[in-house]
Structure 1
Amino acid sequence: MALRWMLVFVLLLDSTVSCSENTLFVQTGGSVTLYIQTHELPEFDELVWKNEKSENIFKYISATKTARLHPFYTNRTDFNNETFSLTLKNMQKTDSGVYTASTSGDLTKDVAKHRVSVMDPVEAPVLSENICSFTCKGHNFTISSTYNNSCFQEEVRSSGNYTLSLYCSGDFIICNHSNPVSWRNDTKEVNESCIVNKDTSTGPQSEYISWLIPLIVVLALIVAVVVFYSYRNKKGI
């Protein structure tokens, strides 16, 4: 008897456990698919997908394999009656929020919970140059850095999931603006003067080394010849 009541308690406890929230990002006007988040879906009479306002978006009735759809979502949904996933189309920023799915029958069980964030695509960033200094602007952010013949990377992120980064790749400077649904960049080639200035600063040292090595070789040959003839004269050869 005790074992039976313990089993009932475990089943009731399991039915009240909420699924972990999963965040999904979708571009404005795009589509997003909401999946069931349990490995084994229990037998059920009805499966219901709800939106942030707890409105029934989609109700699937297992016995008749029929469905009822909220009028607001007409022509905006696709339901998979094998995986029980729900695809929402033409998403707008007002559609952002938490979406849940639950089954009902002998027990009520939460089987999915997704936080959907609908975002506009990012605007193109602007990359400007002043001699060898570069400035990257986008989403009210500004990053500046100076090219000194070696690659660099600067980055700033906002709490709204926007990222602005300024970095170099070879002889190109790249200003990149992105969010979880899109990215755009502006690119400029490094001015030759930035590289020449760097090379000029090391020029004298390179020229010094270039004539020093042959001089050492010549002196070594002279010393070798002198030593050879001195040794030859001593031997009377």
Structure 2
Amino acid sequence: MAINHRLRILLCLLTFKTGFSAEISVVVQTGNSVQLHIQTRELPEFDDLSWKNDKSEIIVRYTSETKRVRLHSSYKDRVDFNDTTFSLTLKNMQKTDSGLYTARASGESDNNIVTYRVSVIDAVEAPVLTVNSNWLSGNFCTVNFTCRAHELMITSSYQNNRCSPEEEVTLQQNYTLILFCSEETIICNHSNPVSWKEKRINITQLCTETMKTDSFLLWSVGLVPVCILIICIIVFMYCKAQEMQKINSDCNTYDIPDRVQAQTEDETGDNRPNTTYCTVGQYQEQKIPPETEKTIYSVVNKKPNQKPPAISSDDT
């Protein structure tokens, strides 16, 4: 019903009359139906009334005397004819159905009552609205974008709640691309005589996301040097600890065991510092325990235990 209403409006706008006959331009969407009316209240007396296309095919023939309706074989499943108003409805229109359709009354003379020029076109595709760049400048958000559809393209920018420029572009095939902006939205509208589709971008949301991104980048840039400094300090402290550990493992001084020291003092009478041992070379993993391999013990100032020579009576 809504489609038929729009078609009636188009008929009123696009009709031009020349005497009794008129040619009317009608545009219909692919797959939809179109209704063709006689467009006159009074018809002359006729024997037959027919609708035919520009291929000379008689789609329907109505005989007034017998009230008989005959349909063309290729239109039987997609045609409705009203034998009271004599209007013709064509269903499931395809692009190959585009052309002229004429109502003709035959009697004492033949008269073309009305002619329709029917154009079958596809519904429009949804436009593509692409943001090329956006940034914040002071308190204002600037967005550069492109609106594109059906070989049509508009490039514009948004700032201070308006688009510059707001444009409308139309092709000869009646495909129109319109760009306009509101306070919060960019709208790209693609239309033709049978359909329209649009794409929107929420400016408020886009600019808010830009602000969040910029804040994150600034925070990240400030955080990077701090992280590098902390890593450098950790690496320095680790290297220093490794160096000290290596020094401590290379040379260690210990007192000899108490048992050995006591024996040495009894035999030599020397109670000076006793024994020192150091790690020799880098420890290499072997089957014997590391503790046995890493150290060498030595006893310092230990003399052989000898008894003094006996004094004979002859020496005395």
TM-score (norm 1): 0.72
For 1:107 and 1:149, how far apart are their aligned partners in 2?
69
Gapped runs of 5+ residues in structure 2?
Answer: 1-17, 135-142, 212-316
Residue in 2 aligned with 1:74?
A: 76
- AA of the residue aligned to 1:137: R
Aligned match of 2:34 = 32
Q: CA RMSD in A?
A: 2.1
Q: 1:105 aligns with which of 107, 117, 126?
A: 107
Aligned residues: 181
Please state if 1:134 is matched with 2:145: yes
Matched, 1:185 2:198: yes
What percentage of residue pairs aligned between the two structures are identical? 55
Q: Deviations over 1:172-214 (max 9, x none)?
A: 0011111111111110011437xx9xxxxxxxxxxxxxxxxxx
Q: Secondary structure at the match of 1:164?
A: strand
Give the gaps of 5 or more residues in structure 1.
1-15, 197-237
Q: In the aligned structure 2, how far is the partner of 1:52 from the partner of 1:118?
A: 15
Q: CA deviation at 1:165?
A: 1.2
From 18, 21, 29, the equivalent of 1:19 is 21
Instruction: Please say if residues 78 and 86 of structure 1, whose CA atoms lie closer than 8 Å, have aligned partners that are also in contact.
Output: yes
User: Which structure has the larger Rg over C-alpha atoms?
Assistant: 2
CA contact (8 A) 1:51 1:98 kept: yes
Q: Is the 8 A contact 2:127 2:199 kept in 1?
A: yes
Q: Which amino acid letter does the alignment assign opposite residue 149 of structure 1? A: N
Residue deviations 1:141-183, cap 9 Å, x none?
A: 1101111224343110001111111111231001111111111
Runs (4+) off by over 4 Å = none
SS in 1 for 2:74: helix
Pairwise CA distance, 1:65: 0.4
Q: Contact (CA 8 Å) 1:28, 1:93: kept in 2 or not? A: yes
For 1:192 and 1:123, how far apart are their aligned partners in 2? 28
Name 1:48's counterpart in structure 2: 50
Q: What is the TM-score when the length of structure 2 is the normalising length?
A: 0.54
The correspondence for 1:93, drawn from 92, 95, 120, is 95
Aligned twin of 2:154: 143
Alpha-carbon contact 1:177-1:183 (below 8 Å) kept: yes
CA distance in 1, matches of 2:24, 2:161: 41
Higher RCO (CA-CA < 8 Å; seq separation 6+): 1
